[in-house]
Amino acid sequence: GGNLSLCSSFKLSTVFSHHHPLSFFFLLYQADFVKIAHPDFAFREAAEETCRNIGTMVEKLNTNIELCQSLKQLLANKEVMDSLDPETRQVAELFMFDFEISGIHLDEEKRKRAVDLNVKILDLCNQFLIGAHLPNKIDKQILPEHIRYNFAVEGNYIQITGLHADCSDDLVREAAYKIFLYPNAEQLRCLEELLTSRNHLAQLVGYNTFAHRALQGTMARTPEKVMQFLETLSDRLFQRTLKDFEMMEGMKMKLNPQNSKLMPWDHPYYSGVLRAERYNIEPSLYCPFFSLGACMEGLNFLFNQLLGISLYAEQTEKGELWCEDVRKLAVVHENEGLLGYIYCDFYQRADKPHQDCHFTIRGGRLRKDGEYQLPVVVLMLSLPHSTRSSPTLLTPGMMENLFHEMGHAMHSMLGRTRYQHVTGTRCPTDFAEVPSILMEYFASDYRVVNQFARHFQTGQFSWFILLPLSLLVFYAVLDQLYHGEHPLKRSTTEILKETQEKFYGLPYVPNTAWQLRFSHLVGYGAKYYSYLMSRAIASMVWKQCFVQNPFDRAMGERYRREMLAHGGGKEPMLMVQGMLQKSPSVEDFVNALVSDLDQDFETFFMDSE
């Protein structure tokens, strides 16, 4: 297998030895990564096929009766269970749970149907993702001449590849919105079939709805709890959103008196303008640039202060890297030595996914010989290349993404779980984003930024609410409704229209179908709310533990011990309790998110001298 050259630095003999039942985890991680990252199309295609085969095999194993029976006997044996450590018990229960949501308790014919449905869903997901990113084409005569240069022209057609949300020309944003979101019948059918198949699967294995199945094992636990969280948040945001809309409408009035009604394509753009005005940020200061080298130094300094960890550049072997500009970092603790490796694949290249992401190539676990298998991860960003005259420069948004992805990497590096099944970021979705979002708070604190960006004058960096909260709430509610009771009472577009009016407040635009571009429905089906919940927890941890001193070593150690060390091997609520020393309620979550908007944190405004 050509793709194994990626890991020539790991002893393949140990990974693929016959007594190693988890070696296909390693293969799956790798294939999952190669199918996205490899510069060569043939590799990507082969890896995609591998993923599909492994996915099918895993589904078959998840409906393997003998495996399940022996696990059941173990779980039923109180004596043995009591002798196990908490993580092993948790993992045993998680495996049982995987069997159950795959339909192990069904008769053979239904089990086979469950496996087939899973494979069908996998294919629909891939198809939906491709459709969600496909550009829309339009005859170029239709667009006014003076805005055509904003888009890619192909012969007589104009290609619209996105929403152009940050363009200052209202007409460009409007055109992009109406054309990019124009419904595509094929994609609509794909979405409907995906939602129906997910619902079939959930009901087949004994759940009311797909949301009930997806939320088992998360912090929120039930769809009812998720809706309670979203509705409470929506109510709290309502007045504030109206005020914001009024201010934005005023701004639009100034800029575009003929057409001053605030529309969905205006909101993200004007909320940026509004922020800049509200905090009096000069655009030139609003968008300073940070060199990549300085940002890495800053991360190194921060991890050193908080956790006693340093990042070192490591030499690589021939054939180890899939692209020559990838850098390998060793993560080293001052007393414990090497903790793991991070491959940094940071630069733009053709065919690279748009999404910044974090891949586990090898999970950490305790080996038979008592040694710890060190985790290996890849971080992917799409930063511009450096030139002869200037280093790679990051905008505040890129810097925040770098910190965000580094948060995931540290979660992987510091997890010390016995089992690969719960290594690092393999934990419930609504907890998985906590370590990464917490890093965004560090990235937007001037005391941290000043460590590596000396030329920095402003104190306030409220960049991080890139999408307005009310928009995130609307998306999260939509996701819950799509995965709730079936058959759906109305079409997906009618549900979108109703939800948009109720939870978002800007009018639905006829002949658009935003849901067909909602690619997160694939990876986060029924779990889109997770981002908001993770942000709420990260916000509480930041305010309670780090806002006084973002370099507090004792807090860093507590954070490692309580939150990062367990991966998915401990109930997430227990980790949050350990960190905050109380168990937060829905109200606490909502208060944390809302108080971030008020952001009277002195720290942001204190003079940065």
pLDDT digits (tens, 9 = 90+) for 363-419: 787 788 888 888 888 888 888 887 787 778 887 778 888 999 999 999 989 988 776
pLDDT score, position 31: 64
CATH dotted code for 287-467+529-603: 1.10.1370.40
What are the residue boundaries of the structural domains of the chain, listed by start? 6-126, 134-182, 287-467+529-603
pLDDT score, position 598: 72
Least confident of 1-5, 449-453, 518-522, 538-542: 1-5
Which band of pLDDT confidence, cut at 50, 70 and 90, is reported for residue 488?
Answer: very high
Specify the DSSP element, H or E, that contains 366: strand 365-366
Mean pLDDT of 302-327: 91
Q: pLDDT of 533-556, one tens digit each?
A: 999 999 999 999 999 999 999 999
pLDDT score, position 597: 79
Q: What is the pTM of this model?
A: 0.83
pLDDT score, position 2: 34
- DSSP summary character for residue 348: -
User: Is residue 461 pLDDT above 50, yes or no?
Assistant: no
Kindly state the greatest CA–CA separation across the chain: 78
Judged on CB neighbours under 10 Å (0-12, 13-18, 19+), 77 is exposed
Closest CA to 166 of 94, 293, 249, 271: 271
Cα(587)–Cα(543) distance, integer angstroms: 16
Mean pLDDT rounded to a whole number for the chain? 82
Contacts of 548 (CB under 8 A, 6+ apart): none
Cβ count within 10 A of residue 266: 25
Catalytic residue among 59, 400, 405, 562: 405
Amino acid identity at 558: R
What six digits make up the tokens of 112?
A: 């086979």
Mean pLDDT of 497-524: 94
pLDDT score, position 422: 62
pLDDT score, position 429: 80
pLDDT, greater one: 448 or 61: 448
Please confirm, yes or no, whether 405 is among the known catalytic residues. yes
Which band of pLDDT confidence, cut at 50, 70 and 90, is reported for residue 40?
Answer: confident
Report how far Cα 218 is from the mean position of its chain's Cα atoms.
Answer: 15
pLDDT score, position 186: 96
Phi-psi region of 385 (alpha: psi -120 to 50; beta: other; left: phi over 0): beta
User: Is residue 511 pLDDT above 70, yes or no?
Assistant: yes
Mean pLDDT of 562-590: 89
- The sign of the CA dihedral 145, 148, 149, 155 is negative
Judged on CB neighbours under 10 Å (0-12, 13-18, 19+), 200 is middle
**Alpha helix (H) residue ranges in 320-433:** 396-414, 429-432
Spatial contact of 332 and 339, defined as CB atoms under 8 Å apart: yes
